[in-house]
Copies of this chain bind each other. A is one copy, B any other.
Amino acid sequence: MAKRTMVQALNLALRQEMAKDDRVIVMGEDVGLDGGVFRVTDGLVAQFGEQRVLDTPLAESAIAGMAIGMAIYGLRPVCEIQFSGFAYHSFHQLENHAARMRWRTQGGLHVPMVLRAPYGAGVRALEHHSESREAYWAHTPGLKMVIPSGPRNARALLVSAIRDPDPVIFYEAKALYRAFREEVPDEEETLPIGQARVAREGRDVTLITYGAMLPPTLEAAERLHAEEGIEAEVIDLLTISPLDDQTLADSLAKTGRAAVVHEAQRSFGVGAEVVARLMERAFYSLEAPIARITGFDTIVPYFSREKHYLPHADRIAGRVKDMIKAV
């Protein structure tokens, strides 16, 4: 096994799926020679040629719309939107068509495409390069929304997304791209879409998170353990939609308390759905209100203030302590 960054792990997934299946086409702005602005597609054009790795003109609606056509034809396009903040240009293509084609044709046509986009803050970027708007996609019936949290699951989930017969929005946390390395085997690995994982076991409180917020949440859990003897169970959603509420409810049945942590702004975000699902499925386990520890309902501030915007281990641990003390 090799130690890989998330960028390298994603690259591996693409490379292996492309080698295995000539239906897989990588496309987007600067994905060719440049290897993508984050280098996720590095070297693919050299290996597979310009017909498999398609540099596109600068137009996000076209990238998505063209991919829909390719997918209907039977190919497996994997589009890269350079930053998730520019994916809104393709919103109507995804909502109006990708999400509905199977349903519209009663199973006749379907759209096995993946739309990858780097999301999230923490990398000192310009405006529009730091958003986390996964809730938009999650609220769109017919789309799946996946967010990995590390190199190994990123690779396995991307392979699953490519093989999925339906459209998958795949957000990659920029802050995790090169944050750490993990053993990622050369051998094929997949992970089922729609399944959360328990990243840390605990009995006192359930912390629910995903993507770039996993590391600070785990750090908070360690701190809670070290400082207060509180054992936090940490759940890494991995898939936002369909949401694996069973894993969440099971954990809550054990802990009775929960907080959801995400960097997206709070209102009408993923945290709200997590709370609502637990309200529906685990109300009688609840010993305290579920807390939302999230980005604020502002625009992500320019980078000198990002650290105050983003949930960090201190904030998470502090809020959890308060929650437990309050009861």
Total number of A residues with any Cβ neighbor in B under 8 Å? 45
Q: Which of A86, A141, A269, A280 has the most CB of B within 10 A?
A: A141
Chain B proximity mask over A52-65: 1 for CB below 8 Å, otherwise 0: 00000000000000
Q: Report copies per complex.
A: 2
User: With A103-B298, A272-B276, A279-B275 as given contacts, are A267 and B241 in contact (CB-CB < 8 Å)?
Assistant: yes
- A263-314 contacts to B, CB under 8 A, are 265, 267-273, 275-276, 279-280, 283, 286, 288-292, 297-299
Query: Given B96, B288, B292, B298, which contacts A88 in the complex, CB threshold below 8 Å?
Result: B96
Interface-side segment among A35-43, A130-138, A159-167: A130-138
Chain B residues with CB below 8 A from A135, complex form: 135, 139, 268
A29 vs chain B, min Cβ distance (A): 15
Is A262's CB within 8 Å of the partner chain B? no
Q: Are A268 and B289 in contact (CB under 8 A)?
A: no
Is A74's CB within 8 Å of the partner chain B? no
Chain B residues with CB below 8 A from A276, complex form: 271-272, 275-276, 290, 292
Chain B residues with CB below 8 A from A279, complex form: 275, 279, 289-290
A residues in contact (CB < 8 Å) with B: 85-86, 88-89, 91-92, 95-96, 99-100, 103-104, 127-128, 133, 135-136, 138-139, 141-142, 241, 243, 265, 267-273, 275-276, 279-280, 283, 286, 288-292, 297-299
Could you list 12 examples of A-B contacts with CB < 8 Å?
Answer: A89-B92, A91-B92, A100-B299, A103-B298, A136-B136, A139-B268, A141-B265, A141-B299, A268-B270, A272-B272, A272-B275, A276-B290
